[in-house]
Each structure stands twice: as C-alpha cells, then as structure tokens.
Structure 1
Amino acid sequence: MDKLSLDNLQNLKPCVARPSYARGDLSPGIVHIGVGNFHRAHQAVYLDRLFEMGKGRDWALVGAGVRTADGAMRERLLGQDLLTTVVELAPEGHRARVTGAMVDFVPIAADNGPLIAAMARPSTRIVSLTVTEGGYYLDQHGAFDTAHPDMLRDARQPDAPGSAFGAILKALRLRRAAGLPPFTVMSCDNLPGNGHVAQGTVTGLAALSDQAFAEWVAANVAFPNGMVDRITPATGQREIDLVAREFGVDDAAPVLCEPFMQWVLEDNFPQGRPPLEDAGVTFTDQVHAFEAMKIRILNGGHAIIAYPAGLLGIEFAHEAMRDEQVAAFLHKVEVEEILPHVKPVPGTSLVDYLASIEERFANPDIGDRIRRLCLDGSNRQPKFIMPSVRDNLAAGQVPKGLALLSALWCRYCAGVDDQGQRIAPNDPDWTALNARALAAKHDPAQWLAMRDVYGAWGQDTGFVAAFAQALSALWSDGTRAVLARYLEGGASGA
C-alpha cells in the first residue's frame, strides 16, 4: 500500500486516476474557508477537472479555516502534500481519482492572521466558503443575528477577528487601503440564496462597528448565488479502510461520494473567474429556479424518507428506498404535492429529476444514514417542507402527505421509535422539541404552534385537522399502518 504523496503518485495502481499536471503548473487564485468533505468532493473536483484540461491553472485553491477541526484537517492534508483521493460510489463499480487542486493550507490562528494575509494578497480574486448554515450567524427568522456573542466580539476587535466573516472584513479593509480591488465572496453552502445570506452576514457584521464601511462592502463586493449538490457521507475508519483495500492508497482523509454532481452559479465575478463552464458548471441568472427544485424535491425528499424510516428502525437511506412503503410514500408525496408547485427550470424535466433523485437515494454504496437525514428538523422543515405546504394550501388543497410528514417528524421527536427504542437527541433544540412532541400527543396544536416553523399556516383549519388525525393514528396504530392507509388513498388516520 502506498502512502499518498506527490512522490508516490506514479506508484499508485493503474485503476487510480491522478493529475497529469504538476504542482508547479498551478498558482493560487481562490482562498477557501472550510475544507471539509463536501468542498473536496465538489468545488475542488471541478477545479481538478479544469486543470486536467490545461485551463484556469492560475485559480488553484488555498485552504483555510477558523476552527480547531480545520487545524486537524490541515495536518492530515499537509501530511500527504494536500492531495485527496475522491472515490465515486457508483453501483456498477467504484472509481478513484487523486485530486491536486489545492496548493497551500494556511495555519489556523486565534486572530486569523494567516487567513487574513492570504485573502489580502493581490492573487486572491475569490474567497469561497463552506461553513455550514450554522456558520452564517442567522437568527430564528433567517436574518443576521446582531446579538450573537461571536459577532459582538468581532465588532469590538475588528483587527483580531475570531470568525471567518470578521477575517473577510479585515482583509477587505487591507485591500482597500492598498488600492487593490475587493475579492468576490462565493458561498458554496447548501442554503437558499447563499450569496444573499453571505452578503447579509458580512455587511451586518461590518455595520456593528462601521456603517460607512458596511455600505462600501454592499456597493463594491460581489456575492454570487449558487446551488450545489453532491451526496457526500462523512469519512470514518470504514471509508479509510475501503480506499486502502480497494485501491491500495494510504489516505488519511479520503472522500467518498455519489457519482452525481451539480453546480449552478450566477456569473457575478468582477475580478474574473476560472472557466468552470468547461468543467460542467452551469452559469445562469436563474439560480433560484434550480435551487427551489433541489430544495423541494431532493432536500424535501430526504425528510420524506427520513422520519418514517427513523421510526421503523431503518439505518440507511438505501434501505429506506428498499422498503416498499417508504419508497411509495416518497413518490406519492413528491408527485402529488411537491412537483406541481415547482416552477419550470431551464432545460430540466422535473419528472426526470425526481427519477434521478430516487435512484440516488437508492444507491447502496453511499451509506447515508437516516439519522443524518433526520438531523436538525427545526431548521430544515421551514426551508425544505413548508414552502410546498404553503403553496398547496394557497391553491386550496390540503397536502395530506406533507401533513403526515409533519406528524412523523413530531412523533420522531418524542424520542422513542415504533419498536420502543430510544431516539438519541438529534436537533440543536431537541429538549424543547421533545417536550412539545410529548405534549402534542394529547394536544396536537402544541406542535403546530411553532411559528418559526409553521408560521400562520400552522393555524390553517384543513392542515391542522390532517396533522392531528395523522399524529393520533401514529401513536395508536404505528407507522406501518398509517403509511398503508395513506398509500391506499384514504386519510392517514382513518
């Protein structure tokens, strides 16, 4: 078995693809904050494809981070010359490629000095981010949280910021003082309007200490919106062992992912960008249409299979798709209550997109855990499910399948599955959700009273009745019986 390194690239098995370009062929153009699995399976892969074509080689990545975990990732990657083995888990066979799009990884420091210096360099024209939704400091309404302690601290000490956004602002100030144009800030996180969200956090933080600078940022810094998609499980010893066993590569931080990959971007890069369209990225002024499609059909679909599977004791997504009831529940809700309210997407058939989603969910090699899909429902339900509920109700239709899904989520948060097994806490607000779910067993209105999730739609008479009926039936009859009645076309609680 060969330790992954630049010196050992030529010793790898022939089945492992590797860069034909040399490290010396590349020069940095992008600083990326948050070098996790998704980034290395997505943005870094697109850039690797581009470099392999002999294009855009002045846009190599410089890795960065602001958390302790980022420091651990830095050490692992530096130990293998910043290379990553990316394994596509296709059902017909696994494919491995070593990617080399990263040329540096700056040290992690409490004041973010090395990160700020990297962003302030003239060569840096894009700063990209995968910091997860929670990393944008949003309040319960999705707006910038002006009272968050991290943001208040950075507002008090803007020259020694602790957050990624404080570091971005410090670097922008340095560039402005040096007469350099601002870099583009490109969010690569999976959240609606990610460019607008990033802009809101950056300008919101700036305004806490310098309103005039906040206005300059809003007027001069580009924040393109983008939609990203690739299922990428976490890496543990199982994944490390798989790469070693199947491909003979000793990689301390491999990435395993599905073959499917999609990136849709607004073309808003004043200081230039790599020609990513040549590597398969879609540039369009209708990112919102692609985003709505993904959020409702894919992310919503994950929730639709997750909660019944979680109550039935199913561990993996592909096992849920093998369960006839769960798979049929997904298809029925999608076709009857979600697809009819998704606006047309350029060059895309929604029916074909749903079919691809069902195929992706059923991939047995991904190993995507149901528990992960159930995680953080208090944040995901308002974004992924409630828009479809709202549109159905606005059209005069009570979405009984989505009401049942809400009841399944409530029943899951009660903390015990249908077999009597304890469900471990699985939401940042689990204690409150658990108490509310137990109260809702006798008073369903307690659950729908969460206005940050349901808004005014939680008071809709038809939705309330469908939810209450489904929740009562889940407690009295169990998930199997309730799914069976819904799939037969009757009311879920009848």
Structure 2
Amino acid sequence: MNRLCNAALSRLPALIERPAYDRTRMTTGIVHLGIGAFQRAHQAVYTDALLADDPSWGILGVSLRSPDTRDALAPQDGLYSVSATDDRGTGCRVIGALTGLIVAPEDPALLGERLADPAVRIVSTTVTEKGYSHDPATGALREDDPDIRHDVRHIDRPRTTLGTIVGGLKRRRNAGLAPFTVLACDNLPSNGHTLRSLVLRFAELHDPDLSRWIAGEVRFPSTMVDRIVPATTDADRAVAKYALGLEDAWPIMTERFSQWVIEDDFNLGRPEWDRSGAQFVRDVAPYELMKLRLLNGSHSTLAYLGYLMGAETVADAMNEPALARLVEELMRLEVTPTLPSLGGFDLAAYRASLLERFRNPSLRHRTWQIAMDGSQKLPQRLLGTIRDRLAQGLPIDRLALGVAAWMRYVTGIDEKQKPIDVRDPLASRLKALTEAAGPIASRLAPALLSIKEIFGSDLPTNPAFTAPVEAALDRLFRIGARDLCGQMI
C-alpha cells in the first residue's frame, strides 16, 4: 500500500516525526465538532504530543455537514501529515490523535451516544463564525433560523452546533452523568462566554429546566487560537507525497508559529496542553482582543484590498509596498491604541511578527479564502475597533478603508470587470443590494450599511463612520485599490 496508514508508519523516512505512542491504547476523551484543517493543525497537534503519557485524550472528529474529511482520512486510519514552515525551513510530522471520524447527518444517533460516553470530558468546536447560528452584531441567537427551529423540536436529530451540544448535554443529564466541558476554539470575542449564552438560550427554547441545569453545571472556558492554515491544494498533496514517500489525501501546510491561550476552567479535567506549548490563564479576553484586532483585522483588510489588486495570496499582497505599509500603519496607529495592557507583553514585537508571518511565501494562503464569510467576520475584526475609536473621537481612515474594500469586493465584480465568487451566508442578500445600488458609492454604502446583522443600528447613523467609509468606497471605484493605498501612506 502506498497510502499513509498505520501499517505504513514504519516506512516513513527517518526525518518525519510520527506518533510516539501505541495508537491501539488510545481512547476518546475529546469530541471535536468541525474537524477541518485548522483543528487538525492546531488542537490535534497540541494533543498528539501528550498521548504517550496519557492516551485517554484521543479526539473523535465530527463533521457537521460534509463527509469530505472522513472520506479522505478514514482509509488512512485517521493519520495525516502537518508540514510547518518558516525562514528556517520546513518540518513534517504525522499526527495520530484522531480515534475516529463521524459525519453527523449520516448517523446522529451514534454521535449522541458518543457524546453521552462518560469517558468524553471535553467537547470542542471550530465551526467558524457562521457555525454559531447567531447575529454577529449583537451576539443573539438567530431564533428564526430554520435549522435552529428544527433542532429545538428534534433535539435527537440535530443539524446545528448548538443542537448537537445541547442534545449531548441532555443525554448526560438524563443518564445522571457529569456534563462535559464545552471548549470554543473559534475567532469570536469571548468565545466561551458567547457560546454559553447561545447554548443557554437554545436550551431554554427546548426545555427551560435543561437550560437551568446547564447554567449551573457546565463550564465554557474561552480560548484564543492562532495559526495560519491555508486550504490544502493538489500541489500541497504532491509536496506531502514527496516528503512522506506515501500518499496523504489531506495533508496540512501551515506556519511553524502556533499559539493557544486557554481559560483554565474545566470540570472533568483536561490534557496538560501547557506541556506542548499552550498557555493557561485566568482571563483570555485581552489576548483574544489583541489577536482579533491586530491579526484578524489586518488579515481581512489585506485580503479584500489584495484581492482587488490581483494578489492571489497574502504573501503576494504583502509584496505590494503601499498595501504592506498601510497594514503596518493600521495595526500601529489605529488598532494598538484600542488594546488593553497585557502586563509587559511586547506589542511592537508582536506586530512585527505578524508582518513577517504574512510575508511567508511558503504559505499559499489565498486572499479569496480569507475573504469568505465577511458578514460574520467584520463585526469582530474591524467594527469593534472602529466603535472604540469613534467613542474616543479618533480618526478611522484605514479601518474605514477595510470596510469599504469589503463593500467593493461583495459587488461580485473585480477591478478588471471579472466575476468574484462571493462566499457568504448573506450572499444572496448582498447580491440583491449591490445590484440594485450599482457601482455608485453614495448608493451602495448606505444599502450595505442597512444590514443590521453586520453594522447594528449605531454605526449606520453615525456620520463619523459613514462619511469615511463612503469616501473610501468612492475612491476605490474611481482610482482602484493600488492607487488608493499609495495615496494613503
């Protein structure tokens, strides 16, 4: 067999790291919802390093929608490779932390049984912002969402993250078992607290007594996660095959940098992730805010402006001198003054490290990939910073340009009049608004600002916000992203 699997581990080249434990001794202690590339490059890697000492923390991966990950990894016994690169070169290791893979819609009863297993002590999530079924501007549960309404009535056949979590907790309560800890690992402000409020509201709609039990018994620690993980390409598969001497259907290509800050609040124990590089703290919020605003906010700005300039990847975008300078000024002049003190943490060094990571040419992180789901990302990545600066009477020129670049992007037509494949939960609504308004900033900006799920009710009525956004959008239409960035530095 020429494919990565348990039987082929002994044939790996000597330089390839591999599981340093007996995989047959692993048991499932974590069920992870959203078994995508990021989780496999992040949480699974931190966990894999600990399994030789404690094999009870294996991870059952759950896909809530597509069978693609299961179909790729099941023939490989759940094994896959992670190649991490920086200016020192590339290191490759094979990860064996997955005990199995489930596609939830195919067998919701099996998933329910696994969530009720007393050995499962943590249920974690990386389902992206849109997977929380909430209004990003307010944090409230979208109670009119058809899948949420379905799950409230049919908790035994859930379609959503919230329905899956609440259904699992209900099974444990009914069986007299202690609840698992719910560990959010997505880029949301106060992600654990946000997920807790959504779970409680969903549970209240289903069963108020269950909601009260969850409120009193279940822990929802917040986390901050950071690692750039581009989508896997066929070229990446070819590179992995050359390194491994074996086929790997879904390898991960990522950067060497990785960070995980975790609120230490678990009721049934936890892996010693600090031994593999994670940091346990009492309050994640300052770290989370720093990352959301400096990394994610600048990443989105780079993606929209870079895409409009014709840059395929983030590294390509950073090769545009004016855009690179604008992003550095965005972080230093407009974002940093809104951040709380981190007790000696060197923000200047952190900003410099971000710019270095963005320039990494080995990471083929597509601007189009980062631009996805902007309606869900803008409130956390840019609009919170904007609100803080407006409250202090400070200018928002670069932040406003980031918002305007998103508006220009979602018109679906780039600067060369070619179509843009806009992927967003609100895509049909965005298309209707942009087509009705046309490429006229004075019409398009108010039309998009009317979407309360993104901008709330405060920003669209604040001239200190609307004026610079509309002005930036007008200039993007008239002179284009490259020239506009050049004029702003």
CA distance in 1, matches of 2:156, 2:289: 38
In 1: Cα distance, 2:78 partner to 2:26 partner = 13
Distance across 1 between alignment mates of 2:415 and 2:68: 39
Equivalent position SS for 2:90: strand
**Superposition TM-score, scaled by structure 2 size:** 0.93
What is the aligned partner in structure 2 of residue 490 from structure 1? none
Q: Distance in 2 between matches of 1:187 and 1:287?
A: 12
Q: Write the letter of the residue equivalent to 2:98.
A: M
CA shift, 1:451, in A, is 4.1
- Cα deviations by residue, 1:310-362 (Å, 9 ceiling, x for unpaired): 22111111011111011011011211111111112245211111111111111
Amino acid at match of 2:118: P
Q: C-alpha displacement at 1:446, in angstroms?
A: 4.0
Aligned match of 1:469: 471
* Cα drift, residue 111 of structure 1: 5.4
Are 1:408 and 2:409 an aligned pair? no
Alpha-carbon distance between aligned partners in 1 of 2:235 and 2:459, rounded to the nearest angstrom: 44
Task: Please list the CA deviations of residues 263-322 of structure 1 after superposition, one character each: whole Å capped at 9, or x if unmatched.
Answer: 111111111111111111111122010110000000111122122212211111101111
Q: 1:485 to 1:362 in 2, by over 3 A?
A: same
| Equivalent residue, structure 1, for 2:81 | 85
Does the C-alpha gap of structure 1 residues 347 and 84 become closer, same or farther in structure 2, counting only changes over 3 Å?
A: farther
Query: Which of residues 144, 151, 156 is equivalent to 1:159?
Result: 156
The Cα of 1:97 is off from its aligned counterpart by: 0.2
Task: Say yes or no: does 1:284 pair with 2:286.
Answer: no
Name the structure 2 match of 1:76: 72
The separation in 1 between residues aligned to 2:213 and 2:155, in whole angstroms, is 16
Which residue, out of 99, 117, 120, partners 1:121? Answer: 117
Report deviation, 1:449.
4.2
Q: How does 1:191-202 map to 2 (within 5 A)?
A: 191-202=188-199
Partner of 2:48: 48
Kept in 2, the 8 Å contact 1:2–1:12? The answer is: no
Deviation at 1:73, TM superposition (A): 2.0
1:415–1:424 Cα contact (<8 Å) kept? yes
Q: CA deviation at 1:33?
A: 1.9
Structure 1 residue 145 corresponds to structure 2 residue 121: no
2:235 corresponds to = 238
In structure 1, the gaps of 5 or more residues are 488-494
- What is the CA–CA distance in structure 2 between the aligned matches of 1:449 and 1:208, rounded to whole Å? 29
CA distance 1:317–1:209, shift in 2 (3 Å): same
Residues 13/137 of structure 1: CA separation in 2 closer, same or farther (3 Å cut): same
Q: Is the 8 A contact 1:55 1:275 kept in 2?
A: no
- The 5-angstrom pairing of residues 333-482 of structure 1 reads 333-429=330-426, 430-435=430-435, 438=438, 440-443=440-443, 444-455=445-456, 456-482=458-484
Q: Quick one: structure 1 residues 160 and 304, their matched pair in 2 at CA, closer, same or farther if it must change by over 3 Å?
A: closer
Q: 1:307, 1:374 within 8 Å by CA — same for their partners in 2?
A: yes
Q: Is the 8 A contact 2:78 2:99 kept in 1?
A: yes
Tell me the SS of whatever aligns to 1:428.
coil
CA distance in 2, matches of 1:335, 1:403: 15
Q: 2:306 maps to what in 1?
A: 309
- The structure-2 alpha-carbon separation of the partners of 1:166 and 1:60, relative to structure 1 and needing over 3 Å to count, comes to same
Secondary structure at the residue paired with 2:124?
strand
Q: Does 1:272 align with 2:274?
A: no
Task: Report the CA distance between 1:176 and its aligned residue.
Answer: 2.3
What letter is aligned with 1:152?
R
Shift in Å, 1:228: 1.0
- Secondary structure of the 1:471 match is helix
Question: 2:309 is matched by which residue type in structure 1?
Answer: L
Which of 252-261 and 443-452 deviates more?
443-452
Question: Which segment drifts farther, 266-275 or 429-438?
Answer: 429-438
In the aligned structure 2, how far is the partner of 1:466 from the partner of 1:22? 59
Q: Kindly provide the CA deviation profile for residues 417-469 of structure 1, in whole angstroms up to 9, marking residues without a partner as x.
A: 33333323343333145236636424454444444433423433343333333
Partner of 2:11: 11
Deviation at 1:473, TM superposition (A): 2.5
Give the drift of 1:20: 1.8
Equivalent residue, structure 1, for 2:92: 96
Change (3 A) 1:389 1:167: closer
Does the 8 A contact of 1:440 with 1:447 survive in 2? no
CA–CA distance in structure 2, aligned partners of residues 113 and 218 of structure 1: 25
CA contact (8 A) 1:136 1:197 kept: no
1:59 matched to 2:57 = yes
Alpha-carbon distance between aligned partners in 1 of 2:19 and 2:359, rounded to the nearest angstrom: 31
Retained in 2: the 8 A contact 1:91–1:365?
Answer: no
User: What is the 5 A alignment of 1:158-197?
Assistant: 158-197=155-194
Which deviates further from its counterpart, 189-198 or 217-226?
Answer: 189-198
Which residue of structure 1 lines up, in the alignment, with residue 292 of structure 2? Answer: 295
Shift of 1:139: 3.1
TM-score by length of 1: 0.92
Residue by residue over 1:152-193, the C-alpha shift from the partner in whole angstroms, topping out at 9 and shown as x without a partner, is 222222333343433333332332233221111112222222
Over 3 Å counting, the alpha-carbon distance change for 1:148 and 1:107 in structure 2 is closer
SS in 2 for 1:7: helix
Q: Identity of paired residues, percent? A: 37
CA contact (8 A) 2:30 2:58 kept: yes
In the TM superposition, what whole-angstrom CA distance separates every residue of 1:34-79 from its partner, at most 9, and x where no partner exists? 211111101110011122xx43322111222332x2x332232221
3-state SS of 1:79 partner = helix
How many pairs were matched up?
483
Do the aligned partners of residues 164 and 427 (structure 1) sit closer, same or farther apart at CA in structure 2, a change above 3 Å counting?
Answer: closer
Distance 1:301 1:393 in 2: 19
How large is the Cα RMSD of the aligned pairs?
2.1
